[in-house]
Amino acid sequence: MAHERSTFQKAIEITNELRKLIPIGTLNFYDLPLNDSDLGGLSVEQDPDSLWKWFDIDFFIYICKGKVCQVLSYLQFLIDFQFMKATFRIVSFKEDSSVKICKVRLYGVPLDIQGGRYIQEWRASTPKSYNIDKNYQRYLDSILPYIDFSNRGWLLDDGKVIPLEHLLPLVLLRCKETIKQEDLSIEEFNFHVERWTNNSTVVPYKGPSSNSSSFSKRIRDIYNEVPSPVVNHNIQVHTSITGVTSTLYPFQARSVAKMLEKETIPGRALVPNLISVKCPDGSQEYYFDLKTKCIFESPELLSLPRGGILAENMGLGKTLISLSLISASKYEVSKIPSDLLIHNSEESEIPEYEFKGNFSKPVKEKMNVKSLVEICSDIIGQDSIPWKHHINNLPQSVIATLTNNPGYFRIPLDNDEFVSPYSQRKRHSLRRVERGVFNFRKLYLCSTTLVIVPDNLFIQWNEETNKHLEPGYLKILFISNYYKMKQPDSCNTYSDFIPLEPTILIQYDLILLSRTIFARSVDNDSNPLASSFLARSLFAERKWAVTGTPTSGLTRLYMDELEQHQARKSKYVVKNSFNEKADLQKLGIIIGNFLKLEPFASQPKLWNSQIIQPLLANYYGSELLFSNLLHSIMVRHNPRDVEQDLELPPLHHDAVFLEPSYHNIMSINLFTAVLAVNAVTSERTDVDYMFHPSNRSQLRKLITNLQRATFYWTGFKQEDVETLIKICLSSLKKKTQSGISKYSGRDTELLEKSIAVAQLALRNLQWRTSSLLHEMNYYVSNLPDIFMRTYGIGVANDKVGVYGAPHLTSIQEFFFKNRFIDYTNVERVTELLEEKSKEFWKKYWQENVKRNAERFNKQDPNQDVESRIKEGAIENSMDIPDIALSTPKKSRPKKEFSSPKEELEREVGHLNYHNHNETVSYDKIRRAKVLGTASAKLSYLVSRLLDHQETKIKSLVFFEFEDSAYYLTEALDILGINYILYATSITPAQRAKNLVEFANHDVEVDGGLSLIMDLRLAAHGLTILSATRVYFISPVWSQSIEAQAIKRAHRIGQTKDVYVETLILKGTLEEEIYKRRTNDVEQEQLGPNGEETNEEEQNGRDKRRFVIDDTGMQDTRSELE
């Protein structure tokens, strides 16, 4: 019997066929040991006269007596372990025939070469100490800089003597020269791989480029440069679709066509770690694995999902695109997956489980001989024939038979590929296997589309279907808590629960399901992971994630780039700011969990190792591969292409800089004083320092409160401010052993400024009263003195009184109720006012704490709101504390305390506000005006909204903190300005109704209307086209959130210019946030030569910039406004 060949022999035999190898490039050596030997070598071809011979590198190194350069040593390893093969040819120069060089052609052995398993087996049999795979990558890196990948370097003229010019450019390696080899950096590896893909000659690496972009910019560029979809040339794109009454824009039609193409013609794409390379002789294309650095002859491809991500920009009509796709594919029926085992009913008895709710029971099918009708029905159902396309030509009996007998297939409950809420754990029971007992679940084939809709968009989707679809074209089922019965004038079905029978559900073309019911259907125990689990367990042939922002990095606002630079300086410029790594992880969840794109679905960690890490390390090709992956799963138009089909009205976004009110200044200065005193007394070290890492949460809370103070803040207690002064005074007295002040001159100045700020607040009656009552101060003129005496909480001057919102509301109620009395009868008016105010104050003090708790505790649970108003607190708020005076005041006899209102009146009386001879008239009361408030933003915003109501304009106001919304709605109520609130305190159902009410409000009849919306609820997809004025109470740091909010009004369907204003207090933290979001601040992050600074340097700048205790206090103006 013939001796069986060894694995090594088989491996050698496979790599000895040159036609199976892949040309890579060439190396050039000189100073050859030709005096000792002619280098030998067998001819590559059968022709003995062939000039190219196999390069026997072991013999070559032997005749060099082992003294060779490291490149040859590394090449020996690659050839010996069958990673590469080489041929050589000795060439002489025509100009000097005595000079000879050895030109070596390198051939790669592809990992997928026929019979390659023998090579793998042989390598695996070698000692582990060889570290074959690790050394392969290292040695390949080492020889890359010397390989000539060009076509000119590969091809040579026939003949042994060649003109030198035919070999140029030429890089020669001396055989016996010792070259110091160092590991390639990522940048240098990228440089040489780029030479490889471009088939370039040898070029020395000159170091990293000075204009290399940051990771953040690279990721943004990838997102923003995703190419627009290119539709198959065989598909004709129409802007009108059967069943859709609206005419699509051309870009919308292309999106629908591309989505339909992805659904009907499943595509394939390169795995992310492979790049395509051409051979230097142009003979073929091969693939290089950037991770393992192996070579492949044929690419490994991903099977793309029948779906993807509809990622059109915000406001470009994704709802219409989705409805158009559903209408266009109305008759297409899902098919049985080709990789599933199909069980026919004629097979051995199979326990089949029917599921109703969370309960299941086996149902045995009866074995009957089928009729011809049943056989035809089964074939139509199992082969997914779109019979409904001909439904108008079929008799009712046939329609009933096909409807009642849909196609289906079964999957085992004990499986790995199809996860289900009903999946069984694996039980390795030999008995069960022998008996062939398996449990199966029946899945029906249908043309039904399920859309999971956020609760706050549900009613909007109902309106969109009515607006864009022909009545009755799609049979639609709405499942939401909003609907308890059939809606009038609608042919759709509405329900507040999911029907248990799947055969009922598949009769519908479209099922719109609210996210709340969707999540609740997973687990009655409200498992927090339920929604994610159900998303993975859905059995759907085609899946689309419909979102304009699958990641925040895709969010973008397009401003008018044609404006001159000087004109843009006053504009509100949006800066992209997002967490790139978190962005990529979110995208990985969509791709792996929802779209189930392999290998990321079965191996979630691969997303990090093959996508995120290469991008972070800036590996060559990682950006291109990621971009290609996005392109293969996303349908998204580049804004430049959209602008050719669509021109939205201009978007004007300005920053409005407001002078802070006196109360704003005092509040902000108190925060600054707290930080300053902390910095000085802690000496800016250890855990006592507010900026210490361990105090991050406390610092975040303080900065948040500082942001709230830019609107209005009453959170400082009088006792806290007095304590602050005592700390400052105590610190100023501290001396060193030499008798000088413990603190530097600058720190001493900070302490003195802090004392001045605190004393100024304590001396101000309005501040002391506000810190106690937590009421917004309204400055009202021309209101008779008797109202001040009965309702006022302070005075500004002889003609202006200070009131709170509840007080003004009570006055309005009094005036309306008593509008027919004789106001010239001062005694009668006074009597009625005293009676009304007494009742008001009694109720006010009782409800004050409850009202403040509702106002503040949800925003900040740790904010202290006392359980009751203490008598001492009222009296303390009226008297200026001794510590706030330069000289202590004289003690005065203690007055008997009767009521908080009397204490307030006592202080008012000290200001000689009373004028008992004042005349009162109905007309004079009607001339009373609200001059302003203690909040600069509130005063500005209310005046703008009042103007919009009179000019019949709808407005949208976004708030970030609930206390600002509370004060704003109070003011709107007082002034009678129309508004609708959209906040978390309102149920989702009521919020949805509020949106409908806002859209249907007739401004011509009822005047303008404002929608006051929580920024957190500025959801993806909300459409508020009727609003043309948008206000942000405070700057928004997150660009994604802000862009979403703006696009509620500036989107397809908007026919008017949209004006957006962001309110900013001058000289505050808000202005700093604004500056950091402008292009000018981006330039500050560049070095002196325009290069980007590294993270450590930038963090140092940020730290210096945000040391608030070094910024000083704001200048105060007059004590009263």
Domains (range + CATH), the chain: 7-183 (no CATH), 648-663+670-682+935-1121 (3.40.50.300)
Q: Which residue has the higher pLDDT, 888 or 441?
A: 441
Instruction: Inform me whether the pLDDT recorded for 1089 exceeds 50.
Output: no
Report pLDDT for 944: 92
Report pLDDT for 296: 93
C-beta separation of 86 from 106 below 8 A:
yes
Q: What is the DSSP string of 618-643?
A: T-TTHHHHHHHHHHHHEE---HHHHH
Report pLDDT for 636: 87
Instruction: Inform me whether the pLDDT recorded for 613 exceeds 70.
Output: yes
The phi and psi torsions of 904 (rounded to 5 degrees) equal -65, -45
Quick one: average pLDDT of 85-90?
88
Report pLDDT for 885: 55
**Which range is least confidently modeled, 116-125, 133-142, 622-631, 687-696?**
687-696
Nearest to 987 by CA among 459, 581, 631: 459
Confidence label for 969 from pLDDT (cuts 50, 70 and 90): very high
Interval 911-966: pLDDT, tens: 444 455 566 777 888 888 888 999 999 999 999 999 999 999 999 899 988 888 99
Please identify which residue in the block is written with the tokens 């609760």.
455
**Which range is least confidently modeled, 119-133, 351-365, 693-707, 847-861?**
351-365
Instruction: Inform me whether the pLDDT recorded for 214 exceeds 80.
Output: no
3-state secondary structure 766-809: HHHHHHHHCCCCEEEECCCHHHHHHHCCEEEECCEEEECHHHHH
Quick one: average pLDDT of 547-554?
60
Q: Which residue has the higher pLDDT, 1065 or 1088?
A: 1065
C-beta separation of 229 from 635 below 8 A:
yes
Task: Look over the chain and give the mean of its residue pLDDT values, rounded to a whole number.
Answer: 76
Give the range with max mean pLDDT: 341-345, 469-473, 512-516, 1048-1052. 469-473
Interval 743-792: pLDDT, tens: 888 888 888 888 888 888 888 888 888 888 888 889 998 888 888 888 88
Quick one: average pLDDT of 372-386?
84
Instruction: Inform me whether the pLDDT recorded for 798 exceeds 80.
Output: no
Assessment of whether the complete model's pTM goes beyond 0.75: no
> What value does the CA radius of gyration of the chain take, rounded to a whole number of Å?
39
**Which range is least confidently modeled, 544-553, 572-581, 941-950?**
572-581
Report pLDDT for 106: 93
The CA-atom distances, in angstroms, between 370 and each of 336, 345, 382, 399 are 22, 11, 15, 18
Q: Is the peptide bond before 806 cis (omega within 30 degrees of 0)?
A: no
Confidence label for 546 from pLDDT (cuts 50, 70 and 90): confident
Q: Which amino acid is at 868?
A: R
**Which range is least confidently modeled, 110-124, 294-308, 374-388, 874-888?**
874-888
Please give the Cα distance from 107 to 187 (Å, whole number): 25
Q: Which residue has the higher pLDDT, 1 or 863?
A: 863
Please identify which residue in the block is written with the tokens 């060193």.
736
Query: HSE (CB half, 13 Å, CA atoms) of 575?
Result: 17
Instruction: Please state, for a pLDDT cut of 90, what percent of the chain lies above it.
Output: 9
Report pLDDT for 312: 85
Instruction: Inform me whether the pLDDT recorded for 70 exceeds 70.
Output: yes
What are residue 1086's DSSP bridge partners?
A: 1092
Interval 288-335: pLDDT, tens: 988 888 999 988 888 888 999 998 877 788 889 999 999 999 998 888
> How many other C-beta atoms lie within 10 A of the C-beta of residue 397?
9
C-beta separation of 771 from 866 below 8 A:
no
3-state secondary structure 584-618: HHHHHHHHHHHCCCCCCCCCCHHHHHHHHHHHHHC
Quick one: average pLDDT of 598-616?
86
Query: HSE (CB half, 13 Å, CA atoms) of 81?
Result: 24
C-beta separation of 432 from 425 below 8 A:
no
**Which range is least confidently modeled, 538-552, 714-728, 1090-1104?**
1090-1104
C-beta separation of 720 from 754 below 8 A:
no
Please give the Cα distance from 93 to 628 (Å, whole number): 46
Please give the Cα distance from 349 to 370 (Å, whole number): 17
Please identify which residue in the block is written with the tokens 């029917």.
354
Helices 7-15/116-125 angle, 10° precision: 130
The CA-atom distances, in angstroms, between 131 and each of 83, 448, 1107 are 14, 55, 53
DSSP category for residue 449? E
Report pLDDT for 1107: 35
942-951 burial code (b ≥16 CB/10 A, e <16): bebbbebbee
Confidence label for 1102 from pLDDT (cuts 50, 70 and 90): very low
Q: Which amino acid is at 933?
A: T
Please give the Cα distance from 720 to 723 (Å, whole number): 5
Confidence label for 514 from pLDDT (cuts 50, 70 and 90): confident
Please give the Cα distance from 1006 to 976 (Å, whole number): 12
Q: Which residue has the higher pLDDT, 660 or 577?
A: 660
Instruction: Inform me whether the pLDDT recorded for 175 exceeds 50.
Output: yes
Helix boundaries (H) for 144-238: 151-154, 186-197, 215-224
Confidence label for 271 from pLDDT (cuts 50, 70 and 90): confident
Report pLDDT for 675: 85
**Burial of 314 (C-beta count, 10 Å sphere; 0-12/13-18/19+):** buried
Report pLDDT for 91: 81
What are residue 278's DSSP bridge partners?
A: 285
Q: Which residue has the higher pLDDT, 175 or 107?
A: 107
The CA-atom distances, in angstroms, between 1031 and each of 253, 954, 1007, 1059 are 34, 11, 19, 9
Give the range with max mean pLDDT: 83-97, 171-185, 913-927. 83-97
Instruction: Inform me whether the pLDDT recorded for 557 exceeds 50.
Output: no
Helix, strand, or coil here: 140?
helix
Quick one: average pLDDT of 831-844?
85
Instruction: Inform me whether the pLDDT recorded for 688 exceeds 60.
Output: yes
Report pLDDT for 323: 93
Report pLDDT for 907: 47
Instruction: Inform me whether the pLDDT recorded for 241 exceeds 60.
Output: yes
